[in-house]
Structure 1
Amino acid sequence: MELSSRKRNIAFWTLQLLGWGFINAISILVPHNLSWELTVFSVVVGIFIGVFSTSILRWYLKKNVHFDSFGGKEVLKIIVSILLAALLFGLLNFLSGYLYFKFGPELTETELKMFEGYDKILIQVLNSLFLVGAWTITYLVIKLLLKLNQNRIERLELNTTLKQAQLNTLKGQINPHFMFNSLNNIRGLMLEDVDRSREMLTKLSEILRYSLTKNNVNDIPVREEVEVVDNYIDLSKIQFEDRLEFVKQIEENTLDLRIPPMIIQLLIENAAKHGISNLKHGGRIVLSIFRTDEQLHIEVRNTGKLQMTQDSTQLGLKNIEQRLKLLYADQASFTLKEISDEVVAEIKIPME
């Protein structure tokens, strides 16, 4: 299971304190006969400098280095940030050593040998470069392992959820009530207009074929989806007759854009079933498709009230939300709201 942000931060700070504590404890315990003042000072200040410098480095890496699109530019950023962090690390070590040497207690001969390198900034920077470089490599390796594990978990969850989504989508697409109503309406139409009833049977078969064959496809052109919607409206008008008015407002430049199959069809079906069918005098369904910036907007408006759909399972709408989340994560959105005397369903899909 993927670690939460809070747990990752706790793990990071715990490892920071333990890691720098261990490094400084080892370095200070190698020389013997050190005063307790110098021992405590070296360990505490060493941990602070290590944690402070590398925490700033981590903040920079997280904010400016894009690990998902790793390239030469990101490598250069990492190298520069390591050099700057090492310089800061070395300067802080030099400053702390200088202050203790000048204002601290009198040093023993062993302690004086410890401070021989503190006045050489180059030595401090080189030593710091080694420590900060090792820390950065460790940090990047851990981050990579976590990313690989996260991707593996997401792939497993995606496969599992996709199978469930496909089953739910089939349930939502093949609406038995719509099929039975359409067949009954066509049967009645045969007594009046045989040619038109034959045409309606063809449209019904095309809708069923479309819902079955496109179930395993992630995207299709808008124009294909609109053709299915037209067939659905034609079949619905057998039942609603003049009670249903359908208006299309589709920009020409959106027809070849690709969208998940059945999402418009499910919106139109929801508008007809839970909106127009509940109105004595019928109403209007308006389908609008347009593009703004890098998003495709799909909007379906229908006459009616939103509360008319509250007693339904809303399986079709749930399928839309689930499919958008699977395909686009948080980059796509789906909203359903009531504006004046209309129910407005809107989908926004990112365009590459």
Structure 2
Amino acid sequence: MNTKNFTVSGKIIWLSSLALGLLVAIPKLAERHFNGYETVVNSAVTFVFALFVWYYNILTLPKYTARDIVKGFSPIRLVKSLALGIAVMFLLACLQQLLIDQLDFGPAMLMIEARGVLVNICFYMFIHYLYQNYLHQKIGIELERAKMDNLAAQYELLKQQVNPHFLFNSLNTLKYMVENKDDHSVDFILKLSDFYRFTLESRKLDMIPLSEELNILDAYTFLLKARFEEGIDITINIDPAHYTSYIPPFTLQLLIENCIKHNIVSLDRPLHIRLYSDKDNIVVENHIQLKRTKESSTGMGLENINQRYLHLLNKTIGIHPTDSLFTIKLPVVYEYRHH
């Protein structure tokens, strides 16, 4: 039988019920005045009741959810199962009385009800034990899957952080600045050094304060301005109250890199990128001016960020494209649950 992904073999259910029915027949076989008909009816009643207990308790198991993984032992469910079991056993006792007239209904009914309660409790505890094992296995599988997803996301992030194209372009820009004796050459070297120092310090962290992420972005923006000059305009207007919130490292840098990758950046057509607060979201927004020749893309940039938010917070980022704007909304994350 399969319910809510929890599986118990039908052979186990039917064979265990049959074995219980045969077990009940053993005392009858030892009696001096053995009555085969009465023994068969008595065993059949126990067999039917055991089947009922199996299927009822499996069908009423709580649904598995990631947020409410293990509810533990439920006295309420046990009481409901016992109450319904007593009612079903009473009906089976009445049926047994109809089939075997010579039985004294009072003592026979009491014995059957006591047997039913015992069977119900034993089966409930056994099913509960199987279900708890199932939950623990499912939790273990999901944890391993989450670890693998997180490792894959970190690997993809690391590859993008030390993007050889970005380093190549930065070194070319530096070469151009040195050849032209640009006064900002030293500042460029310092910012490039800061950026890669941030990369080494933050790559092992799941979350960093937004204030630190903005420091990374400041170094990255300086490098971009040195390369594109007035061809790129990045405006940051984030509420200072959000500076103490948390964000996966290099998220903003990756989003801006994604904007540059897909849009024209030139002095004639400057790319405008805005970062601002919108209630409980950090918004990254750019005007759409797509390149005529699209660069090769794996489609992993936004998916990588989305998977990290899903893994760490069980939330997803908002992606809102229009004809003129491309908007990404990142949920604001605080350290404490009550936020």
Normalised by the size of structure 2, how large is the TM-score? 0.79
1:249-288 Cα deviation digits (max 9, x unpaired): 3222221112211122111111123224389512211123
Residue of structure 2 equivalent to 1:324: 309
Residue of structure 2 equivalent to 1:311: 296
Runs of 4+ in 1 over 6 A off after TM superposition: none
Contact 1:306/1:343, CA 8 A, preserved across alignment: no
> Given the alignment of the two structures, is residue 229 of structure 1 paired with residue 217 of structure 2, yes or no?
yes
Contact 2:153/2:307, CA 8 A, preserved across alignment: yes
Residue of structure 1 equivalent to 2:330: 347
Give, in angstroms, the shift of residue 177 of structure 1.
1.8
Distance 2:176 2:228 in 1: 14
Residue of structure 2 equivalent to 1:88: 84
Identity %: 22
Residues 1:341 and 1:92: Cα distance change in structure 2 (over 3 Å): same
1:109-152 Cα deviation digits (max 9, x unpaired): 5xx26x554433xx655544432322232223223323333344
Contact 2:264/2:271, CA 8 A, preserved across alignment: yes
Residue 287 of structure 1 aligns to a residue in which SS? strand
Distance 1:233 1:214 in 2: 18
Contact 1:336/1:345, CA 8 A, preserved across alignment: yes
Residues 1:350 and 1:126: Cα distance change in structure 2 (over 3 Å): farther
Give, in angstroms, the shift of residue 231 of structure 1.
1.9
Q: 1:54 aligns with which of 37, 54, 57?
A: 57
> Which range is displaced more, 172-181 or 312-321?
312-321
Residue 305 of structure 2 aligns to a residue in which SS? helix
1:169-205 Cα deviation digits (max 9, x unpaired): 22111122222222322333343642x2222221111
Residue of structure 2 equivalent to 1:215: 203
Residues 1:129 and 1:162: Cα distance change in structure 2 (over 3 Å): same
Residue 277 of structure 1 aligns to a residue in which SS? coil
Residues 1:47 and 1:339: Cα distance change in structure 2 (over 3 Å): same
Give, in angstroms, the shift of residue 233 of structure 1.
1.7
> Which range is displaced more, 147-156 or 208-217?
147-156
Distance 1:125 1:223 in 2: 68
Q: Alpha carbon RMSD of aligned pairs, Å?
A: 3.5
Distance 2:12 2:295 in 1: 51
Distance 1:245 1:51 in 2: 67
Residues 1:131 and 1:189: Cα distance change in structure 2 (over 3 Å): same
Q: 1:300 aligns with which of 259, 284, 308?
A: 284
Unaligned runs of 5+ in 1: none
Structure with more helix by fraction: 1
Residue of structure 2 equivalent to 1:119: 109
Residue 237 of structure 1 aligns to a residue in which SS? helix
Aligned counterparts, 1:256-267, within 5 A? 256-267=244-255
Residue of structure 2 equivalent to 1:31: 28
Aligned counterparts, 1:6-85, within 5 A? 8-11=5-8, 15-28=12-25, 30-32=27-29, 33-35=35-37, 38=41, 42=45, 45-51=48-54, 53-55=56-58, 58-59=60-61, 61-62=62-63, 68=69, 78-85=74-81
Give, in angstroms, the shift of residue 35 of structure 1.
2.6
Residue 221 of structure 2 aligns to a residue in which SS? helix
Distance 1:136 1:340 in 2: 59
Residues 1:223 and 1:152: Cα distance change in structure 2 (over 3 Å): same
Residue 248 of structure 1 aligns to a residue in which SS? strand
Paired amino acid for 1:82: L
Residues 1:184 and 1:22: Cα distance change in structure 2 (over 3 Å): same
Unaligned runs of 5+ in 2: 30-34
> Which range is displaced more, 19-28 or 282-291?
19-28
Aligned length: 325
Give, in angstroms, the shift of residue 158 of structure 1.
4.7
